[in-house]
């Protein structure tokens, strides 16, 4: 849907996927005009017990510290 300012508004979704299990563990839909993918993912991850779990996300989520107190890490591959 086109907004008054010429942008586009749609419903999108973020998913937490367990590669080893081959299933989606959790999903969250969001309105792109009201929030962002980054905010939706942060909210979704906050609902899960992830202590000791490696999380991979696309580069959209690597521009700054995602969680307060998160320790920055170098890339794990070249």
Q: How far apart are CA 30 and CA 24, in angstroms?
A: 17
Q: How far apart are CA 25 and CA 1, in angstroms?
A: 29
| 16 in Cβ contact with 23 (< 8 Å) | no
Helix (H) or strand (E) holding 42: helix 37-46
Average pLDDT of the segment spanning 67-76 = 54
Can you give the pLDDT at residue 28? 95
Q: Which residue has the higher pLDDT, 9 or 67?
A: 9
pLDDT category at 11 given cuts 50, 70, 90 is very high
Sorted by where each begins, the domain ranges of the chain are: 1-49
| Confidence (pTM) | 0.65
Q: Could you tell me where the beta strands, DSSP code E, fall in the chain?
A: 11-18, 23-31
Average pLDDT of the segment spanning 50-77 = 65
Can you give the pLDDT at residue 13? 93
Residue-wise pLDDT for 14-63, tens only, equals 999 988 899 999 999 999 889 988 889 889 999 999 888 888 877 665 56
């Amino acid at each position: 849907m086109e907004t008054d300012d010429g942008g586009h508004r749609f419903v999108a979704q973020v998913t937490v996927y367990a590669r080893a299990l081959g299933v989606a563990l959790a999903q969250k839909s969001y309105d792109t005009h009201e929030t962002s993918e980054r905010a939706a993912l942060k909210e979704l991850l906050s609902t899960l017990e992830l202590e000791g779990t490696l999380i991979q996300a696309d580069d959209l989520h690597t521009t700054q510290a995602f969680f307060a107190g998160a320790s920055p890490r170098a890339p794990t591959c070249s």
